């Protein structure tokens, strides 16, 4: 199941560990520590109003898979095909930092639907785990255009994540918990990928996405599902602590 982090005020904790470089603040938070569960205190939010004292920036690749048929209607301002979308969003940071915490090559996965989970890259250290969670929450909130939708008490797990993402193919595995195999879809010319712009769920950090289909999409952590053959999207991400969250109009 992987390791789980201890309860804490995540932002204050991270800022202390970054500004003081203090290993004392990070005792027990490494991937090889005993199993722990996060129940973060979200009295502070990653938003334009509260991000002025903390800076971060990331760029890399994005892939998701969901329960809906191709294409997922949520991105077109419509309701999901089923009661819940049961989507998993994978954020692969090719280059990034949170203050002076380097995040190059690390991954985070957010699962939303009947359950909520955040999976953090087991290759990261304690400070990186805290940074990855804050950024994953910000990106997921922006993607859904609700600002900050994730529950305070969702489970955050440090797990091994194996991922290979390209423009056309994606393979993501959290052993025993999550498996995604996706391919991008080509258009009428049989060669070019189908690019989608100005989508309802299109955040500022991902101006374009490319349509895809998940040949494999299985999950077995709390809720078990197999939505293989359903929707998938590919994208490039470029985000920072000053990004604007576009909210859906009533």
What are the pLDDT digits (tens) for 126-174?
Answer: 999 999 999 999 888 777 655 445 777 789 999 999 999 999 999 999 9
Residues 6+ apart with CB under 8 A from 24: none
Residue 38 has pLDDT above 80, yes or no: no
pTM: 0.79
**Pairing state between β 208-221 and 230-240:** antiparallel
Residues 6+ apart with CB under 8 A from 83: none
Is residue 183 within 8 A of residue 144, CB to CB? The reply is no
Tell me the per-residue pLDDT of 94-113, one tens digit each, with 9 for 90 and over.
999 999 999 999 999 999 98
Is residue 138 within 8 A of residue 175, CB to CB? The reply is no
Q: How far apart are alpha carbons 73 and 104 in whole angstroms?
A: 33
Average pLDDT over residues 168-185: 97
């Amino acid at each position: 199941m992987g390791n789980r982090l201890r309860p804490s005020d995540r932002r204050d904790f991270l800022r202390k560990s970054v500004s003081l470089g203090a290993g004392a603040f990070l005792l027990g938070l490494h991937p090889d520590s005993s199993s722990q569960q996060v129940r973060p205190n979200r009295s502070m939010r990653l938003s334009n109003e509260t991000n002025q004292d903390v800076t971060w920036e990331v760029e890399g690749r994005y892939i998701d898979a969901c329960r809906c048929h191709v294409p997922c209607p949520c991105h077109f301002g419509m309701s999901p095909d089923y009661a819940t979308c049961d989507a998993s969003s994978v954020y692969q940071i090719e280059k990034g930092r949170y203050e002076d915490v380097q995040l190059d090559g690390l991954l985070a996965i957010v699962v939303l639907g009947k359950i909520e989970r955040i999976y953090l890259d087991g290759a990261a250290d304690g400070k990186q785990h805290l940074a990855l969670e804050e950024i994953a929450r910000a990106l997921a909130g922006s993607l859904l255009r609700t600002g900050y939708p994730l529950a305070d008490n969702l489970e955050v797990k440090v797990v091994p994540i194996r991922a290979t993402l390209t423009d056309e193919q994606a393979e993501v595995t959290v052993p025993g918990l999550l498996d995604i195999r996706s391919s991008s879809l080509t258009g009428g010319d049989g060669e070019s990928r189908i690019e989608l712009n100005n989508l309802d769920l299109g955040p500022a950090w991902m101006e374009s996405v490319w349509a895809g289909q998940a040949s494999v999409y299985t999950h077995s952590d709390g809720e078990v599902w197999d939505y293989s053959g359903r929707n998938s999207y590919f994208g490039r991400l470029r985000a920072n602590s000053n990004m604007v969250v576009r909210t859906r109009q009533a």
